Amino acid sequence: MREAEPPPAMEEEKLQQLRSKVTELLLREEWRESIQAYSHFITLCQTHIPNTTHDPNHLSKLQKSVCLAFSNLAEARSRLKDFSEALRDCDEALKMESTHFKTLICKGKILLNLDRYSRALGCFKIAIQDPQANANSETLNGYLEKCKKLEFLSKSGAFDISDWVLNGFRGKSPELAEYIGAVEIKKSEISGRGLFATRNIDIGTPFLVTKAIATERVEDVISAKVLGKNSDYYGIGLWLLASFVNHSCNPNAKRLHSGDHVIVHASRDIKAGEEVTFAYFDVLLPLSKRKQMTTNWGFSCNCKRCRVEEGACCKKDMRELEIGIESGVDLGGVIYRLEEGMRRWMESRGTWRRRIPAMEAVVESVVDAVGSDERILKVFMEGVKRNGGGGGGNLVEMERAMKLGRGVYGKVMKKQAMRNLLELTGMNEQS
């Protein structure tokens, strides 16, 4: 004999009690408990829907409750960064009501977080047509503008973080979009697979901006000279595409961290087909210390620079260079002697075919060897200042400084902002 069904009034009372409970959990931001409660509420409602087909008003009310429950369930899942399930919940809600305001906002925010800017924009465009948008017009218009801006940045790579850099990397991190420039993954002669340029990339040009799939705040983990310091702590993270970049003591790219994002730009000109390389540690260290660092990292470096230094009879000059960098003295003479030693070594092998550069080009020679570095920029600017600053006859030197600055900070620093930065750091005193 079939068991009697509970009266509709009892069903409604039970649903109302459960509805009150899940709303309270959501308001208290108890996300995991909210997910469990909303899942139970949805199951209960869906069980009773077939029994209410005879009452259109009650059926409509029940379906609206399920739609809102799916929307709130998506919100709770998104707070726990379970974005794939959250999107499925949004789609379930939109099946019931294709223009459900709260769900469209929730789905748009999730898609925006996943860097799917055009799809997020579509959600917000539909939502803003809803009468409820009048009370939220400022917020919605903000989302619309943000989507448009990030969509443009993701296609153009025209980033500008000048204000943030000028402020000493303090304050709110700039808004960044996922961007992949002219690079591809290929088999590397250095190790495994690497990232390669598909066309020529000028110094300073950003060619990769990407968000970490996992981050962790850790105090004093890695040298700020290499990875860049953000605020008052260091962090570690996993950036998928950037993780393909191999190490070289003769790197051609630098990275700058901003929040969860990493910005990768050319620290010198990169030719099409050339492998993109980072400095995993401070490559201004002498060969012996670099070897120790590679051992700590679990690999050995066989880059062109390491091979040259292995055979060059200039270890004393290398040590002088290290001391000079640490003490901030004039490095010109030391670098010049270092090049002399390298020239003699390479001449003995018939590989040196160019004139030793003049002293004013010494910094450019070092940049060719180790990539752009803030300390080299400071040394160069001290020389410019001693020669009368950046005016008059020193315009050529200032242009070199600007190029070196682009190698250090990238073209995400605009030209005037770069000049201002040199002035703020006391390196560019006009005569």
SS3 sequence of 252-299: CEEEEEECCEEEEEECCCECCCCECEECCCCCCCCHHHHHHHHHHHCC
- Contact present, 404 and 367 (Cβ < 8 Å): yes
Would you state the structure tokens that stand for residue 267, as one six-digit string? 């620290």
* Residue-level pLDDT at 227: 47
Higher pLDDT, 187 or 223: 187
Q: Name the phi and psi angles at 399, rounded to 5.
A: -65, -40
Among residues 410, 427, 409, 329, the alpha carbon closest in space to that of 168 is found at 409
Pair of tokens at residue 378 = 């400071």
Average pLDDT, the chain: 79
Under the banding of pLDDT at 50, 70 and 90, the label for residue 232 is very low
- 175, 146 contact by CB (below 8 A): yes
Residue 219 banded pLDDT, cuts 50, 70, 90? very low
| 3 state SS of 8 | helix
The answer to whether 156 touches 183, Cβ cutoff 8 Å, is no
Least confident of 105-114, 343-352, 394-403, 409-418: 343-352
User: How would you classify the pairing of strands 246-247 and 277-278?
Assistant: parallel
Nearest-5° angle of CA 151, CA 175, CA 147?
Answer: 30
Q: Indicate the pLDDT class of residue 97, thresholds 50, 70 and 90.
A: very high
With bands split at pLDDT 50, 70 and 90, how would you rate the model's confidence at 418? Answer: confident
Q: Do residues 237 and 258 lie in contact, with contact meaning Cβ atoms separated by under 8 Å? A: no
pLDDT in tens, 275-325: 999 999 888 888 888 899 999 888 889 888 888 887 764 555 555 555 665
For residues 90 and 68, the answer to whether their CB atoms sit within 8 Å is no
Backbone phi, psi, residue 262, to 5°: -125, 135
User: Which residue matches tokens 């679990």?
Assistant: 298
Do residues 111 and 120 touch, judged by C-beta distance below 8 A? yes
Q: In this predicted structure, what is the pLDDT of residue 335?
A: 57
**pLDDT tens per residue across span 54-85:** 667 767 788 888 999 999 999 999 999 999 99
Taking the model in full, what pTM does it have?
0.74
Look at residue 272 in the predicted model and tell me its pLDDT: 96
Token pair recorded at residue 133: 């948008």
pLDDT confidence bin for 357, thresholds 50/70/90 = very low
Nearest to 408 by CA among 370, 378, 371, 372: 372
Q: Which residues contact 380 (CB under 8 A, 6 or more apart)?
A: 363, 397, 400, 401, 404
Comparing 81 with 48, which gets the higher pLDDT? Answer: 81
Q: What is the DSSP letter of 421?
A: H
Are 390 and 430 spatial neighbours (Cβ–Cβ below 8 Å)? Answer: yes
Lowest mean pLDDT among 206-215, 224-233, 333-342: 224-233
- Looking at residue 110, its pLDDT comes to 97
pLDDT higher than 70, residue 330: no
Among 168-177, 216-225, 393-402, top mean pLDDT goes to: 168-177
Check residues 337 and 6 and name the one with the higher pLDDT: 337
Is pLDDT above 60 for 332? no
Whole-angstrom distance between the N-terminal and C-terminal Cα of the chain? 102
pLDDT recorded at residue 416: 82
For residue 184, the cross-strand partners are 196
CB 276 within 8 A of CB 255: no
* Model confidence at 41: pLDDT above 60: yes
What whole-number distance in Å separates Cα of residue 16 and Cα of residue 31? 20
Question: What's the mean pLDDT in 420-425?
Answer: 66
Range in 28-42, 250-264, 282-296, 322-336 with the lowest mean pLDDT: 322-336
Question: Strand pairing partners for 206?
Answer: 265
Domains along the chain with CATH numbers:
8-155 (1.25.40.10), 162-424 (2.170.270.10)
Going through 271-373 in order, the beta strands assigned E by DSSP cover: 277-278
Q: How far is CA 381 from its chain centroid?
A: 29
pLDDT at 12 (0 to 100): 67
The three-class DSSP label of residue 352 is coil
pLDDT band at 15 (very low <50, low <70, confident <90, very high): confident
Task: Choose among 313, 385, 395: nearest CA to 349.
Answer: 313
Structure confidence at residue 337 (pLDDT): 57
